[in-house]
Each structure stands twice: as C-alpha cells, then as structure tokens.
A and B are shown apart, each in its own frame.
Chain A
Amino acid sequence: MDYKHEKLFEEKVFKDPVHRYIHVRDKVIWDVIGTREFQRLRRIRQLGTTYLVFHGAEHSRFQHSLGVYEIVRRIIDDGFSGRTEWNDEERLLTLCAALLHDLGHGPFSHAFEKVFTLDHEKFTQEILTGDTEVNEVLRRVSPDFPEKIADVIGKTYPDKLVVSLISSQIDADRMDYLQRDAYYTGVSYGHFDMERILRVMRPAEEQVVIKFSGMHAVEDYIMSRYQMYWQVYFHPVSRSAEVILMKILHRARHLHTSGYRFQHDPIPFKSFFERTIELEDYISLDESVLLTYFQWWRNEKDEILSDLCDRFLNRRLFQYAEFDPATEYRKIGELESLFKEAGIDPEYYLVTDSSSDLPYDFYRPGEENERVPIYLQTPNGELRELSRSSEIVDAISGKRRTDHKIYFPEDRLAANRDDNPLYDKILRMLKG
C-alpha cells in the first residue's frame, strides 16, 4: 500500500478534554505528530499571556492543532464522505492542513510577531516546504504534497471548499479554539452545540454551507464567539501583560543594537534583533526559552529591562485607564512630556492599546467587503446569507466594537506621589 493510504495497524487515540478522544488511523498523520516541529507546539501556549488572568489557560497550540484535526476528520469522515460535492482525494491533504495550520506560531504568538514584524503564516509555509522533519514526512506522500498543504493554509489552493474548512467565518479552527479556550479558562461562555453544527454542515462548490435547520446552532456559535472575545481574548489585564512582554522584547533589542553587554549573551534572540532570521532560529525558540531569559534579565544592570521582566514574571502588571483618542490624543503628548520630566521613560511605561472585533460580517453586493459570508442552504437547494434569515445575527452584523486603553505603572507612581509632585500630577491626569 502506498504511504498516502497506509493505515496504522491499530487506531491510536489521544485523550482530549474537549473532544474526549482524537482518533488517528492514517500513518502520515501519526508520523507528522511525531516530528520535532509539531512537538514544539507543546511549548507554545494557545492563549499567550492569558494564563496570568485565567490561571487554567496553560493549554498549548499542540492540543488545539490536534483538536482542529479531529473536527475536520469528523466533518469529512462522518459528513462529507460519499457526497458528490466532496472529492475524497482531498481527505489527507485537508487533514494535514488542519493539523498543521498553526505550525509557524512563535512564542507568545502575536506579541512576538508584532515586535519583530514577523508573520506566522509565512513561517508555517517555510517549515512545511523547508529542510525540516515535517517536510520529510510529507514528501513521502508526493513531492508536491508539502506545497499543497502550504497553499491550503495560505488560502491559495484551487479547491476553495478545502480552504473553507480550515479558514472561514465558521471553520474547524474557530470551533476548536472557542470550546478549548472556554474549557481551560473555566468561563461559562464559549459553549455551543458543535455536534449539531457538524451534522448540518454540507459541502458546496466553493465553501461549506449550513443546512437551514441548523441556523440556531450557528447563531449560538456566533454569540459564543462574541462573548469570548470581550470576556477572555481582550481582557484588559491580559493585554497589560502583553504590553509588558512586548516592551521587554523592544528593550532587549534596543540594548543589543546599542552595544549593551548582557550578563547572559542572548544567543537565541540575536538573529531576531539583527533581522537575519534563519528557519532553524525560529524553530528553536519557544516560550520556555523566553521565560528563562526573562529570569536572567531580571538581574541585568539595565533598570528598565530588569523591572519589566520582574513585572511580567511576578505579575506586577500595569494599571489601565479608559482613553478616547479622538478627544485625548493631545493628552498623550502632555503625558509623555510629564513622564520624561519625572524620569520615567514613556517609550516603555506609557502605552496605548486598542482592542476591536467584528463578530460577523458579510459581503453585500456593491460593497467592498472582504469576508466570505456564512450561507444557509434551504430545502430547495437555494443559498441564503445567514443574517438575512437570522434576526440575532442581523443585529450584530457589521457592527464593530472598539475599546482603547492606556497602560501605565500605577504602583510606581502611587508609591512616590507624596515625594514627587509630578507623579501626583500624572496620576491625576490618568485616573481623573
């Protein structure tokens, strides 16, 4: 039997708190899971700094990746297989893309990417097509197989139905992370009837569509997503930790480029500081490495780096205040001047941050929207955009919610406000 169709002698299962069991029969999937690049995902947390607010949120991208794979496996094997709109030849490719869609995430994903202007999707593609263990496994299926998986993840694969299973407004990725993040954070939102959604998913020419009778299950999913964003993903305290994390990396890079001599040579970071990143540098870095360096940097002579690392590790986070950029942007300039006058570097200790989410959006003919909508399939086969049938979804469609905050070290300012009138003035400006 060729490798593509080779099955394990016995099915392997991973015990999983969200899906109960994750089932693996394909030899390729089993081999991919065993590669060092996939195992690295055990050392990247799914929710970055959120564990500093919801202490249960220590789950990894490894778990999430297996979860997305399991959802896609069930959609294909229990729902799509045998239907004329679905090409069974795409099964293994779709499963691999589901499993590997987050392969290129770096430590503390988005914060790290932002500081070093990186793109995890580009790294996913590089890991898939480069000189890696995962590439070696995938090439045994066919020489162009790694490239095809990269195309699915990069949304450039010709079969849009395959792409939509991994990336759309109702995809396996979102269905897993909402449930998993709800489970590990312990919050009561984020739950929806996935079993029902899987049963009403149908393959169509260019995307997955939902049987009309499943509309209420999809409404529930969209509302869960909305609540998770504002209750968990945009939690202001978690954002505070992320702000500090980013400032640590900024400071370390600044020190390196200014010729500062670190007590521990920051070898794993050098190529990031100098923008000479090789794939191996990227793969070698994980959250354990970052946290180890943060421990060392706590003892550095540079007071800013040392203080920021101590804040992050010991959860002495920045306080936040509401901020309206439209009317208060000049206030930022004044605060920056006051911080400088008070001997506190505003580059590291005065930070604005915005959170924004659009829970559901759809393409209206004539508008230049870019999101592919969710379609309901009526009993006569006609497709109807979700918000045209659902009043609940219509009520939140296209409505963006944005929140601006300003972060600052209240503890430091408050402890010295009696001795330093500038500190007092800053606090009064920030806190009103």
Chain B
Amino acid sequence: MLQEHARIVQFIAMANEVNGRKKLQKMIYIAKKMDFPFAEKYELHMYGPYSEELTLRVEELCEMGFLDERCEDKGSYVQYSYNVTEEGERFGEMAETPHEKLGDCISRLSGKSSRFLELVSTLLYFDYLPKDEQIAKVHIVKNKLNFTEDEMNEAFAFIAELQTCSGVA
C-alpha cells in the first residue's frame, strides 16, 4: 500500500537532495537496472529512458507534502531540486528497509552529471544488444548529443562499477 511512493521518498532521502528532474529519472532507472526494487515503467523518450509513472509519483508526493520541490532559474534553463520533508521522512518509514547496497549506488550516481547519466541509462536501455550495437543505437537516438568515444568508455566502466557494487555482476 503506497509502497512505491514510499520507496521514492526513501531514495531521495538517501541522496539528501536530487538536482534536476532528468537526473532523478535517470538515477531511478539505473538503480532499477541494478535490480533494486523500483516498479516504475520506463520508455524511451527525448532524453533517454523516461517514466511517466515516476513523474506522476513525484508530483503526487509534492502535493502530499512529502517532497519539497524547489525551482531555480539557471539563466538558460530552469532546474528543479527535490528534498524530503519531515512528514515525508515519517511516510518513508512505511516502506521496507532499503537494500543495504542502495546507498552506495545512490552516492555514485549523485556525483555524476545528468548528461553522463543520460548516456549510461540509454546504454542500459539497450543492454540486451552486443556492445557495438548498443553504441550504434545510442548514436542514433542521441545523435544531437555527439557522445565521444571517451565518454562511451567511461560510461561502460561506470556500469561495470555499479554492477559490482550492487551485486548484479
């Protein structure tokens, strides 16, 4: 009962704060791909894997007063940041205790840029394909972002690191 909502609250609480809607989307997707129990359904959209369900849950959690959404004008763009409120912390306690390795995974994800997480999540979206086809797909769907070979290598290394720390590998 409302477990999915509570898991999102727990996730943001563990990250202390998440800066950017896109970043939150990608962080949860990557955590899900690392087998942490998030139920949100994802599809490929403009910025890679995107979950309408997650957008909805976050909006609901803000309306319920469990999350605090802050909007910051960054000049050329607007950024939304999310924090858990005191009531939200009590609500988050409703869910089962998160997996012990989730915290480590979140802190690794928090330190990365949303562009990099967009690349990582899009590669993971095509993880059923061989590596060269995965890269080719990313170049097709992200043709305007011009990801370099170095970025690709870094992304694959990061995926391997996450898989090790979350026990997927």
Q: Which residues of A contact B101 (CB under 8 A)?
A: none
Q: Which residues of A contact B1 (CB under 8 A)?
A: 332, 336, 346, 350-352
Assuming the contacts A336-B1, A356-B56, asked whether A156 and B47 have C-beta atoms less than 8 A apart, the reply is no
- The size class of the interface chain A forms with chain B is 20 to 34
Assuming the contacts A368-B21, A400-B59, asked whether A155 and B44 have C-beta atoms less than 8 A apart, the reply is yes
Q: Is the CB–CB distance between A119 and B41 below 8 Å?
A: yes
Name the CB-closest residue of B to A118.
Answer: B41
Q: Which residues of B contact A365 (CB under 8 A)?
A: 77
Assuming the contacts A326-B65, A354-B60, asked whether A117 and B39 have C-beta atoms less than 8 A apart, the reply is yes
* A-B pairs under 8 A by CB, number: 64
Q: Is the CB–CB distance between B140 and A156 below 8 Å?
A: yes
B141's partner among A119, A156, A325 (CB-CB below 8 A) is A156
A365 CA to B66 CA, complexed, in Å? 28
Interface string of A347-364 (1 = CB under 8 A from B): 000111010100000010
Q: Which residues of B contact A356 (CB under 8 A)?
A: 56, 60
Asked if B5 is an interface residue, CB under 8 A from chain A, the answer is yes
A325's partner among B46, B56, B64, B76 (CB-CB below 8 A) is B64
For chain B, residues 115 to 141, give those with C-beta under 8 angstroms from any C-beta of chain A: 137, 140-141
Q: Which residues of A contact B64 (CB under 8 A)?
A: 325-326, 329
Asked if B43 is an interface residue, CB under 8 A from chain A, the answer is yes
The interface residues of chain B, by DSSP majority, are classed as mixed
Min CB–CB distance B30 → chain A (angstroms): 17
Asked if A372 is an interface residue, CB under 8 A from chain B, the answer is yes
Asked if B94 is an interface residue, CB under 8 A from chain A, the answer is yes
Asked if A367 is an interface residue, CB under 8 A from chain B, the answer is yes
Q: Which residues of B contact A352 (CB under 8 A)?
A: 1-2
Name the CB-closest residue of A to B22.
Answer: A368
A58 CA to B140 CA, complexed, in Å? 40
User: What is the interface of chain A, defined by CB distance below 8 A to chain B?
Assistant: 114, 117, 119, 121, 154-156, 158, 325-326, 329, 332-333, 336, 346, 350-352, 354, 356, 363, 365-368, 370-372, 400, 402
User: What is the interface of chain B, defined by CB distance below 8 A to chain A?
Assistant: 1-2, 5, 20-22, 39, 41, 43-47, 50, 56, 59-60, 63-66, 76-78, 80, 91, 94, 137, 140-141, 143
Per CB-CB distance, the 3 closest pairs between chain A and chain B, nearest first, are: A326-B64, A366-B77, A370-B45
